[in-house]
Amino acid sequence: MASLTPFSFRAGKSALHLLDVRCKFFIICLISMTMLKASLPAGFLYFLILMFLFKKAGLNIFSTLNSIKYFIVLLFFVFAARAFSMKGDMLFSFYGMSITKQGVNEGLLVAFKFFLVMLTGIIFSATTKPSCVKSAVQWFFKPVPFVPEKRLAIMISLSIGFMPVIALQARLISDAGKARCADLEKNPVKKIIHLVLPLLKKTFLSADNLVLAMESRCYSDDRTDPEFTPSGKEILFLAAGFVIALSFIYF
Amino acid sequence: MNNSKQLKMTVYTSLFVAFIAIGAFIAIPIGPVPIVLQNMFVLLAAIILGPLWGLACVGIYLLIGLAGLPVFAGGTSGIGKLFGPTGGYLLGYLPCVFVTAGISKALGKKLSTDIIAMVIGSLIVYGAGVPWLKVVTSMTFEKAVAVGMYPFLIGDALKIIAAAFIAKTLRPVINL
């Protein structure tokens, strides 16, 4: 079931799975910040690296693409919006709207960058346990004053844990609705309510059970700090992350 | 707030963070263009959780997105998204959730007052998002409103009405 959503963690023993989560966090922040500046060749090179990492992490790129197919459609709209709205040398006209060469280039680049950011996020979620994310958040926020880092960390970890559960429940409720001819419902407000209300009720009941479980195990913010186990390849990955970030900025 | 209540709010807030993130993935086919439920969950978080926990909820959602998890609309993430054309809408969620929750609480959490609160909250999001869109894309203000606000108003109205009914039914169930 966990493989049903792009957010889910998939167990494995690849270098990415074993990499210290703080290192992964740092690299992903660095890449997502510098991606704005990336050119098409640098982006393509990074895409090849991502494909290599997908393979090494044991992730199937085709099933991943299938799970984000709606976003790929959305990327097409991003591309089309740029292609139609940007001024420049006209390639051809379509119902009074002109597509420009500069618009096509810019649209392709922006859509490609969004796609790369999406794949980077997916590979991070797929190779990182929610509990490790919690530990890393706690570690990063420890020096920040007035932020209850332990509570923040547990909330982030819980949120990441809830995401695949909600996505799966939404799909099940939607399928159950379709089986009962909910598609024929014309009222849009009823359509929303019929999906969201059972989804919220179900997940809040699960959340209540979780609260009970945490209470019965005497959960409190005063817990032992997490321990990190570096894999020894952190320096290599950090160096690679910096090289990629620099290539985005300068090429 | 006692420990038990605090733990409950912690879990519920985390749940709403997940809902806001997943809201971008849940599309309901209404007409030719499906609507996504992300902003509806932001408004629901406000009227269910209240001002402070609602604010924490949106803050954590933005933090997760900034850290690189694909939770922003379109499955994107990163600080670049925040400085991009839609960054204003994302940052607008923070005052939106606080004001919506404040109004809902002050007016007594009724169906009609929830609708008023959510309308004001949505206007705050547009108030932050449209000028940001104008500045980042160098559009005229009219064009920014035409592409960044008008197309979404009908969908937003439907979501607000649905959210008000959902909140009315949900409140007794979760007993906050």
Pick from A117, A156, A203: CB nearest B60: A156
Length of chain B: 176
Partners of B85 on chain A (C-beta within 8 Å) are none
d(CA B28, CA B42): 17
Query: If pLDDT is split at 50, 70 and 90, which confidence band does A191 have?
Result: confident
Q: Do A188 and B158 touch (CB under 8 A)?
A: yes
User: What's the pLDDT score for residue A2?
Assistant: 41
d(CA A243, CA A238): 9
Residue A232 structure tokens: 């020894």
Q: Is the pLDDT of residue B35 over 80?
A: no
Q: Is the pLDDT of residue B49 over 90?
A: yes
Digit-coded pLDDT (tens) for A30-42: 888 888 788 888 9
d(CA A116, CA A244): 13
Q: Do A121 and B15 touch (CB under 8 A)?
A: no
Q: Of the given ranges (A133-137, B26-30, B42-46), which has the lowest mean pLDDT?
A: B26-30
Q: Is the pLDDT of residue B43 over 90?
A: yes
Residue A73 structure tokens: 């459609």
Q: Is the pLDDT of residue B113 over 90?
A: yes
Mean pLDDT of A189-203: 87
* C-alpha pair distances (Å), A14 with each of A11, A17, A54: 9, 5, 10
Cβ atoms of B134 and B149 closer than 8 Å: no
Q: Is the pLDDT of residue B157 over 90?
A: yes
Q: Looking at the domain B3-174, which fold is it?
A: Arp2/3 complex 21 kDa subunit ARPC3 (1.10.1760)
Partners of B77 on chain A (C-beta within 8 Å) are 32, 117-118, 120-121
Nearest CA in chain B to A161: B18
Q: Is the pLDDT of residue A4 over 60?
A: no
Q: Do A159 and B158 touch (CB under 8 A)?
A: no
Which one of A4-18, A169-183, B156-170 scores highest in mean pLDDT?
B156-170
Residue for token digits 């963690």? A9
Mean pLDDT of B97-114: 92
Which one of A14-18, A108-112, B12-16 scores highest in mean pLDDT?
B12-16
Q: Do A156 and B14 touch (CB under 8 A)?
A: yes
- Which of A194, A196, A216, A222 should we substitute to test contact with B (largest number of B Cβ atoms within 10 Å)? A196
A17 CA: distance to closest CA in chain B (Å): 16
Nearest CA in chain B to A22: B67
Digit-coded pLDDT (tens) for A84-97: 777 777 777 767 77
What ipTM score was computed for the predicted complex, to two decimals?
A: 0.88
Burial bucket for residue B108 (CB in 10 Å: 0-12, 13-18, 19+): exposed
Q: Do A117 and B70 touch (CB under 8 A)?
A: yes
d(CA A50, CA A136): 23
Q: Of the given ranges (A183-187, A244-248, B162-166), which has the lowest mean pLDDT?
A: A183-187
* Mean pLDDT score across all residues of chain A: 83
Query: If pLDDT is split at 50, 70 and 90, which confidence band does A117 have?
Result: confident
DSSP code at position A225: P
Residue that wins the pLDDT comparison between B5 and A88: B5
B138 CA: distance to closest CA in chain A (Å): 12
| For chain A, percent of residues with pLDDT exceeding 70 | 95
User: What's the pLDDT score for residue B34?
Assistant: 60
Quick one: angle between helices B3-23 and B38-49, nearest 10? Answer: 160
* Mean pLDDT score across all residues of chain B: 86
Partners of B61 on chain A (C-beta within 8 Å) are 159
Mean pLDDT of A118-140: 84
User: What's the pLDDT score for residue A241?
Assistant: 92
Task: List chain B domain ranges.
Answer: 3-174
Residue A90 backbone phi and psi in degrees, to 5: -70, 130
Nearest CA in chain B to A25: B67
Query: How big is the A-B interface in CB pairs under 8 Å?
Result: 173
Q: Of the candidates A38, A130, A67, A119, which has an alpha carbon nearest to the alpha carbon of residue B76?
A: A119
HSE (CB half, 13 Å, CA atoms) of B15?
A: 26
Q: Tell whether B52 is within 8 A of chain A (Cβ).
A: no
Q: Do A159 and B64 touch (CB under 8 A)?
A: yes
Q: Of the given ranges (A42-46, A61-65, A152-156, A214-218), which has the lowest mean pLDDT?
A: A61-65
B123 CA: distance to closest CA in chain A (Å): 20
- Residues facing residue A97 across a β-bridge: A94
Which one of A130-139, A165-174, B100-109 scores highest in mean pLDDT?
B100-109
Q: Of the given ranges (A14-23, A178-187, B150-159), which has the lowest mean pLDDT?
A: A178-187
3-class SS of residue B28 = strand
Query: If pLDDT is split at 50, 70 and 90, which confidence band does A171 have?
Result: confident
Partners of B84 on chain A (C-beta within 8 Å) are 36
